[in-house]
Chains A and B, each alone.
Chain A
Amino acid sequence: MPLPDAETLCAALAERLRPDLPSGAALVGIHTGGVWVAERLHAALGLGTPLGRIDVSFYRDDFSRNGLHPQIKSSEIPFEVEDRPIIIVDDVLYTGRTIRAAMNELFDYGRASRIDLAVLIDRGGRELPICPRWAGETLFIAPEKNLQLERDEAGKLNLRLIDA
């Protein structure tokens, strides 16, 4: 199956967000792929609020099964969350469990006025009642496959399908 070009998709996603962007909104990318997409959106939309980055490992629901993730990054939320509209950005939306973890973490920084979700690819297969407000593209991907966003040495983003 030919996969869409990730850079084109980022540009298209930015154009979908632009007309609906709440004033004072802040983007929060989820490590690692979500941060790359959020960086593209942040630049394309020229947002004044600095970009937030979170690693949801501390909030994952599979901790007791899988243990602590070996390479956790520090979350950085360089703005007040209280009363601010927040847009969570991720690369691939699948079960929805990562987004649940991200929302839980954001609540520990404050009460956002609203939280929306923008994803590069919605691949279906949800296990929680979570739905993106904006998606670059919706694709059906079989459960035996992992869809990953990668960044090459030149900094270009690419989608890749690998066996789960």
Chain B
Amino acid sequence: MRNPQLTRNGELQHLLTIDGLPREILTAILEAATPFTVVAEREVKKLPLLRGKSVFNLFFENSTRTRTTFEIAAKRLSADVINLNINTSSTSKGETLLDTVDNLCAMQADMFVVRHASSGAPFLIAQHLAAMGLEHIHVINAGDGRHAHPTQGLLDMYTIRHYKQRFDNLVVAIVGDLLHSRVARSQIHALTTLGVPEVRVIGPKTLLPADISQLGVRVFHDMRAGLKDVDVVMMLRLQNERMKGALLPSPQEFFKSYGLTAEKLHCARPDAIVMHPGPMNRGVEIDSAVADGPHAVILPQVTFGIAVRMAVMSMLAGA
């Protein structure tokens, strides 16, 4: 079966997940992103690539930061951006997801940026568009359930490449609540596709999916052992709102074992970088001294995120 994200010519049609995307496409996105970073330094921070296009931000789940960076990216490409917070809108009146999409297609949508609590919702929309013969409309997954958050994964790869130049000599550790994390899944797929030789995951048994080692990662439950000589530390947010039952004794206990402190970071390489997808729980998964310290590249991640999303939107619009 053809990858539903790619056109017949192998170009990116939708961005739904990093899983299954060829390395050439990931590299092309990372390379395309660099010239977009320059735009932010200019007097006029706008490019005409999406002039006349309508981008609909369909957020069925709240997210201020992700929605804002997609909105800025689309606006810097001169698109018209329409933000819909659907949990406060039509679905509460009983309209189905695909009815909402049909209505927006009737309003000449060119691109949907979709955030949904259910895994697979952006796939469903892409399939529906194909069935309706609306292949000119593109879908970007901005986070679906526990499944994927591909633009976050890509901006993380862009950040790593910016600081480390290459992937094929790195040891990367992903730390924290992997069980509930769509970000972690996208990161693991991206890191392995780009040829990182050693990807580690660090966390308590209760917060690591049972089958995680099948993704080609080394599993650690002891943080100091897991951080030994790593080049990149990717922290995850402790997803309090997704916790059901007693997966954790308390945030304080979690911090003691898995919170990134300067002392634990000392196990990593001296030039290690520390990343976090935000929003951070200071004092839970990361200590303020590290979050604001010299190893942290958390704010550059946000800035690069705009350029990476501009690159993705431009590639889709030109496909």
Q: Given A58-B47, A63-B49, A108-B44, do A74 and B315 touch, yes or no (CB 8 Å)?
A: no
Asked if B97 is at the interface (CB within 8 A of a chain A CB), the reply is no
| Chain A residues, Cβ within 8 Å of B318 | 63-64, 66-68
- From B37, B43, B314, A68 is in contact (CB under 8 Å) with B314
| Chain A residues, Cβ within 8 Å of B34 | 74
Which A residues, 49 to 70, have Cβ-Cβ distances below 8 Å to chain B? 55, 57-59, 63-64, 66-68, 70
Q: Given A67-B315, A67-B318, do A55 and B35 touch, yes or no (CB 8 Å)?
A: yes
| Chain B residues, Cβ within 8 Å of A107 | 44
Asked if B42 is at the interface (CB within 8 A of a chain A CB), the reply is yes
Contact A74 B38 (CB under 8 A): yes
Which B residues, 11 to 40, have Cβ-Cβ distances below 8 Å to chain A? 11, 28, 31-32, 34-35, 37-39
| Chain A residues, Cβ within 8 Å of B31 | 71
> Please, what's the 1-or-0 string for A104-115, where 1 marks a CB less than 8 Å from any CB in chain B?
100111100000
- Bound form: Cα–Cα A71–B28 in Å: 8
| Chain A residues, Cβ within 8 Å of B46 | 108
Contact A59 B48 (CB under 8 A): yes
Q: Given A58-B48, A70-B28, do A108 and B43 touch, yes or no (CB 8 Å)?
A: yes
- Bound form: Cα–Cα A141–B159 in Å: 46
Asked if B299 is at the interface (CB within 8 A of a chain A CB), the reply is no
Closest to B33 in A: A72
- Bound form: Cα–Cα A79–B125 in Å: 47
Closest to B319 in A: A67
**Total contacts A-B at CB 8 Å:** 48
Closest to A68 in B: B318
| Chain A residues, Cβ within 8 Å of B28 | 70
Asked if A75 is at the interface (CB within 8 A of a chain B CB), the reply is yes
Which A residues, 62 to 117, have Cβ-Cβ distances below 8 Å to chain B? 63-64, 66-68, 70-76, 81, 104, 107-110
| Chain B residues, Cβ within 8 Å of A66 | 318
Contact A68 B32 (CB under 8 A): yes
- Bound form: Cα–Cα A75–B317 in Å: 22
Contact B35 A104 (CB under 8 A): no
| Chain B residues, Cβ within 8 Å of A110 | 43
- Bound form: Cα–Cα A67–B32 in Å: 12
Which residues in B have some Cβ–Cβ distance to A below 8 Å?
Answer: 11, 28, 31-32, 34-35, 37-39, 42-44, 46-49, 311, 314-315, 317-319
A-B contact pairs, 19 of them (CB 8 A): A58-B35, A58-B47, A58-B48, A58-B49, A63-B49, A67-B11, A68-B32, A68-B311, A68-B314, A68-B315, A70-B28, A72-B32, A72-B35, A74-B34, A75-B38, A76-B38, A109-B42, A109-B43, A109-B44
* 3 cross-chain pairs, A with B, having the tightest CB-CB distances, nearest first: A67-B318, A108-B44, A68-B318
